[in-house]
Structure 1
Amino acid sequence: MTTKERILSSIRRSKDSAFLRKDFDRFGEYRQVSRAISELVAEGVLLRVGYGTYVKTRPSSLSGKPVPADTLLNVTFEVMRKLGVKADVGRDAKALREGRSTQVPMLPVVNVGKARVSRKISYGEKTVVYEKSR
């Protein structure tokens, strides 16, 4: 099997929807893996949502183009878990969940506690915003 086929098989078998570049390092040398990932992105199997961050795709019901298989918030939580950062929903979403507010937050906000996160995760016009806990 080629490097690309091995990575594709791993993606299809995985229950995860988000992947970091280092998840594929075991399949070959850096350049081979990079080339295989680039080909999978071009084919629409993976979608790049940040530096070294990729997600599984599904066809859009409207246009048929590849879109992330999971929501941007769920992808962010999965990436943070893989990076070892404890993340939770933002203040506004937590207030909605606890019944202290009726306003639905429009921005995907993630509370990263006291961790320093500079990784930008975005798809299209939506970008995840990080907030620190007080």
Structure 2
Amino acid sequence: MVGSSATPIARQPRVKQRLWRSIAARSGEVVLRRDLVRFGSQAQISRALKQLMGEGKLVRIGSGVYAKAAPGPLSGLPMARQPLGALAAETFNRLGIAWKQGAAQRRYNSGATTQVPWRTTFNTGQQRISRRLQIGKRVVEYENDLTRPAWRRRRSRSARPV
């Protein structure tokens, strides 16, 4: 065979491999789907993300939001490497959402109370947010600084005069 090369043509890396290499090289724990659009079509990215979740390398914490995972110490099932609060804070920073800790967490951190807050709550200031972030049964809850004027508040039925 004159003129043919003995070495086969190298295959292009598959979408999943390229995607995982990029995710593993990132410094943060949160991966947004919009950061991955350059690796392929929506279907290819969806398939690759599903495979990575099946392999236990990623966990889904919200719509278009994934976190790097590691095997759990007891069950061996994949779990996020950081707690939900840290992942939510990183997600908000990446999405450009201004946030503060929730009121209960602020009171605990300032020493005003010794009761440890068990819910993951964030204050989004004047911004309303409906993004659901969760790991298992733990869900991020939101509070904000929006208050309705007194004249717009509905009175309860028990407070109405008879």
What is the CA deviation profile of residues 27-52 of structure 1, one whole-angstrom value per residue up to 9, with x for unaligned ones?
11111111111111111111011111
Shift of 1:64: 0.8
2:22 to 1, 7, 10: 10
Identity of aligned residues (%): 35
Structure 1 position 118 matched with structure 2 position 123 = no
1-side partners of 2:82 and 2:35: how far apart? 19
Structure 1 position 133 matched with structure 2 position 145 = yes
Structure 1 position 98 matched with structure 2 position 110 = yes
Amino acid at match of 1:4: K
Shift of 1:79: 0.9
**How many residues in Structure 1 have an aligned counterpart in Structure 2?**
134
Structure 1 position 49 matched with structure 2 position 45 = no
Which structure carries more relative contact order (alpha carbon 8 Å, separation 6+)? 1
Aligned to 1:24: 36
Provide the TM-score with structure 2 as the length reference. 0.79
Aligned to 2:150: none
Where structure 2 has 5 or more consecutive residues not aligned to the other structure, the ranges are 1-12, 147-162
Poorly superposed stretches of 4+, deviation over 2 Å? none
Determine helix, strand or coil for the equivalent of 1:6: helix
Aligned to 1:62: 74
2-side partners of 1:112 and 1:7: how far apart? 32
1-side partners of 2:56 and 2:73: how far apart? 15
Amino acid at match of 1:94: R
What is the CA deviation profile of residues 66-87 of structure 1, one whole-angstrom value per residue up to 9, with x for unaligned ones?
0011110011011111111011
Where structure 1 has 5 or more consecutive residues not aligned to the other structure, the ranges are none
2-side partners of 1:133 and 1:104: how far apart? 22
| Higher-Rg member (1/2) | 2
Aligned to 2:96: 84
2-side partners of 1:57 and 1:87: how far apart? 25
Shift of 1:133: 2.5
